[in-house]
Amino acid sequence: MSVRIVNFTLNGRNIDVMVKPLTTLQKLLREHLNYTATKTGCKQGSCGSCTVLVNGEPMVSCLLPVEDIVGKNVLTLEGLSDNGDLHPIQESFFELFAVQCGYCTPGMIMVSKALLDHNPDPNRDEILDALTGNYCRCTGYEPIIRAVEESARRLNLAGEGV
């Protein structure tokens, strides 16, 4: 078996790791690097709880071999908060009760981050389209949708320097 050294950027930090062939990013994050915000759900790409951003685009880390992200920028939920201060999306999810058991939350927040980076003022349909790959079995989705709308409002206000 040929073990490889892979270099990539994780939440702004340069990372070099040795991986066995076809190790998934999910397994690397959780079991080797101890970045456990990224959850293990179905390992089938169906539930979205392991979603991370690769060069700003959401991808399911359970289906992504680490060797495929050489030289790329990976952002996980751990990379959102700033010195312990919650990111506006995290604040909105927390304050609007978009979290119950919390298992889907990291994936939901990462997709919301990608959505709001691409489209700072999404309508309800655009939010639904973006989040359709992420399953939540607790909330019924409404609080999550409201939290994304609130996140957009807060981020846009912050962008205007208010």
Partner 1 sequence: MSIQEYFRPQSIEEATRLLADQAQGSLILAGGTLAMPLINDGISMPEMVLGLKDSGLNYIKDQDKYLVIGATATLSQMASQTKISMLSEAALAVGGWAIRNMATVGGNFFAPPPGGDFTAALLALDAEITFVSSQGERTIAVKDFFTGFLTNSMAPGEIIKEVRVPFPEGKTAFTKYGRRHANTPSIVAIAANLGYQSEKVSKARIALNAVGPYPLRAVMTEDYLLGKSLTEQVIQEAGEIAAGECSPFTDAIASEWYRRKMVPVILGRTLEQIGD
List contacts with partner 1 (CB under 8 A): 1-2, 20-22, 24, 43-45, 48, 51, 57-60, 62-65, 67-68, 111, 114, 128-130, 132-134
Q: DSSP letter string over 101-124?
A: S-SSHHHHHHHHHHHHHH-SS--H
Q: Is 79 or 107 the residue whose CB approaches partner 1 more closely? A: 107
CB of 29 to partner 1, least distance (A): 15
Distance of CA 36 to the CA centre of its chain: 12
Q: Is 68 or 91 the residue whose CB approaches partner 1 more closely? A: 68
Q: Is 45 or 143 the residue whose CB approaches partner 1 more closely? A: 45
In angstroms, the Cα distances linking 41 to 31, 52, 59, 72 are 14, 13, 14, 24
CB of 155 to partner 1, least distance (A): 19
Q: 28: left (phi > 0), else alpha (psi -120 to 50), else beta?
A: alpha
Q: Is 65 or 143 the residue whose CB approaches partner 1 more closely? A: 65
Q: Give the span between the Cα atoms of 49 and 43, in whole angstroms.
A: 9
CB of 42 to partner 1, least distance (A): 8
CB of 162 to partner 1, least distance (A): 30
Q: Give the span between the Cα atoms of 55 and 153, in whole angstroms.
A: 24
